[in-house]
Amino acid sequence: MFKSYWRYVLAIIISFVVLTGALVALAMLLIYPKLPSLDSLTNYQPKIPMRVYTADGALIAEFGAEHRAVVSLNKTPKVLQHAILAAEDDRFYQHGGVDTMGVLRAAISNLTSGGAKEGASTITMQVARNFFLSSEKTFTRKLNEALLAIKIEHSLSKDEILTLYINQIYLGQRAYGFGAAAKTYFGKPIEQISLAEAAMLAGLPKAPSRYNPVVNFPRAQARQHYVLRRMLDLHYITNEEYTAAINQPLVIRNVRDIAGAEVSADYVAEMIRLAMYDRYQDDIYTNGLKVYTTLRKADQDAANIALWKGVEEYDTRHGYRGIEGEVTLPGDQQNLTSDLDNAMQDMNAVHDLIPAVVLSSNAKLVRAYIKDIGITEITGTGLKFAQRLLTGTNKLALHPGAVIRVEKIEDNHAWRITQLPQVEAAFVSLDPHTGAIRALVGGVDYDRNKFNHVTQAWRQPGSTIKPFIYSAALEKGFTAATLVEDAPITISPDETGGVLWEPKNYEGDYSGIVSVRQALTKSLNLPTIRILQTITPHYAQDYLTRFGFDAARQPPYLTLALGAGSVTPLQLASGYAIFANAGQAVKPYIIDHITDTNGKLIMQSKPEAAKAVIDPRNAFIITSLMQDVVKRGTAARAMQLGRNDLAGKTGTTNDQVDAWFAGFQPNLVAVAWIGFDQPRTLGHGETGAQAALPIWMKYMSTALKNVPQVQVSPPDGVVTVQINPLTGLPTGEGETGVPEYFYREAVPIAKTQADPNIEYPQTTDTPQNNNTTTTSPLL
């Protein structure tokens, strides 16, 4: 009876196996021929984003729906390969695509655990699903997946399949493939990851969102420990290696760094994206182009730090404005931190300024919750900036629920109250000999304001326009020694373009008779206006176009002398580069070369040949005037850099609306600007020297570190003559004078007695007329 029973059961089992085999065979006959072609596998073309780099190879940004870094199997560390096999498919190199033993093990596990908790998908089946199928959990999809896996195994080697898996699998944070994931989560190339890091990455394919270490590190770590235990059980690692990996602290990149950028240059990245889109359209997001810019990482880092420091210093000078906003404090203290994080989810850190919510405050202590960090107490110097609003009924005063900004105090674990700056700023530097842009910061924070102030902001240049006016004057017969009157002047509406004008110097005083050199060194307005009167505004307007300025934006009125036109910071930098480059103009450019995904060069920029636009003698003399601006004029603060090869000009517009400094060393030009997007005063005393020059200096202190000083010799046709500064004439026998540069043909050689008490220098009418000398008028 017992034997008959087992014969009956065995017959049923055999019948079931035969029937199942027949059904599988039928399915294969019907479905297998209709399976998709494997061309996408055998000719693998992954979607690789466009990447933008500095000239020295630091990643700036990447553009594409998928972060991906394709790697070959021989460049994938064995420790990662073993971690993947341990986590996903330890019999990968033994089965034929479908692991029957794995299926049986999973079935038993699911039966004993009371539910479907363990899957049996092999790496090959996952490749099939990722390339060809959806993730729906149906029998048909599973059957197709198994059949495709078998087909893949017949067409590709095991190493080829594993390579596809390593590069295609989604691992969270828009990272596709382990190469991108290593960069995304740990900020390093795949070749450099440790055993502990490899185990964490290998744990991601099971559920990328669930085991994402950025979102839930404890859960990701638990999964990592499981992978390490599997590796130990499979003898991939030793007990010592297992213990070391379990105890290794892991540093996960923060949210801001998820894209893997190695240098902050968001405004440049967008400039490149737009330029590449114009050329290649949507292909840029998938074809793996690599765009190498002319930026240098050290220069860009220095520019970022300098601009932010300058903005912070400006903001601090003008005091604490009050709270940023407010939120309702939750009544449930148990969920306080999570509720406040949710309330601040759209408030992001700007540089090191982190949003926080005040929980309680008094004159000596503020207790606050810092987003994503925790509750802290701010005391002592940390309260100083906000002291006047720590208590009181003012709606901007600190009170429970108030949103504030805090930052870490340097070399300390304490925090201090600060605020988001409202002012904007821009900075750009370039090589005056080639036009290669070395650093570009288009604003204070790209996430808050995507307007690129370097290329898009048309602002009044103030006195930074004066060197160009003086350059035009040299071409009209003036010299650096020509005497000009610094005295009150009234300008008619016809000469200003509309209103009666009584201009003044910034300090409100007058110097009487000054030389052209003194006028520029001290940035005197009235002598500059008189010079423009003499050479005429229309001549100056036309002359400015030699430097790349738009004539339409430079009105032909006497107000042009003080920068009433408009320029962009990049345009101004290009103009100053002409002085630094001996009178030759170069076109700024920012893309150096482009390669395809395999590194093949597909475009190499060829900078335009430098074009002579002004006399090199003119460029040299104007540069010498601007060197005096730095050595003893409005920019004398720059002498703190300890260099004698710097030249430049401060600029401040009416009511301190715009503050500038434009300057250069013979091999590097830089321009700093600061102001508000909706033009309004920066405040009393916020001149170019006060607000913009410190940004320029901080950048140059880094960019020129260990760069030898350059002594520029006068070009042919420039002579040095001892001049009596009171007359502007060459010194006579026994007289003491000062050296001054002249065009050879424009050395003063005669004098006139327009006033019996004053002698005036004689200059040529134009530098081209070598035979005629005339007497300068008193200007």
Amino acid letter at 15?
S
The sheet with strand 647-652 has its strands ordered as 437-441, 424-430, 668-675, 658-665, 647-652
Between CA 212 and CA 295 the distance in angstroms is: 34
Residue corresponding to tokens 């998908």: 121
205 and 171 in contact (C-beta within 8 Å)?
yes
Which residue(s) pair with 385 in the sheet?
Answer: none
| Contact status, residue 290 vs residue 221, Cβ threshold 8 Å | no
CA 242/CA 237 separation, integer angstroms: 7
CB 193 within 8 A of CB 173: no
Which segments of 25-157 are extended strands (E)?
50-53, 59-63, 67-68
Other C-beta atoms closer than 10 Å to the C-beta of 505 total 17
Instruction: Answer whether 687's CB lies under 8 Å from 506's CB.
Output: yes
Instruction: Please choose, from the candidates 257, 251, 180, the residue with its C-alpha nearest in 3D space to the C-alpha of residue 217.
Output: 251
- Residue closest to 310 by CA, chosen among 688, 23, 643: 688
Q: Are the C-beta atoms of residues 692 and 700 closer than 8 Å to each other? A: no
Say if residues 655 and 465 touch (Cβ distance below 8 Å).
no
**To which residue do tokens 């790697």 refer?**
71
The crossing angle, in degrees rounded to 10, of helices 78-88 and 123-132 is: 90
Among the listed residues 748, 740, 752, the one whose alpha carbon sits nearest the alpha carbon of residue 764: 748
Selection from 86, 436, 452 nearest residue 296 by Cα: 436
Hey, is 661 helix, strand or coil? strand
Integer Cα distance of 670 and 3 in angstroms? 97
Q: Which residues make beta-bridge pairs with 671?
A: 428, 662
Show the tokens assigned to 129: 């699903």
**Catalytic residue chosen out of the listed positions 264, 361, 429, 463:** 463
Closest CA relative to residue 303, chosen from 700, 658, 706? 700
The single-letter code of the amino acid at 214 is V
Q: Indicate if 160 belongs to the active site.
A: no
DSSP state of 725: T
Helix axes 525-535, 537-544, angle to 10 degrees: 90
Known catalytic membership, residue 624 = no
The catalytic position among 66, 88, 686, 740 is 88
Residues acting as catalytic residues: 88, 463
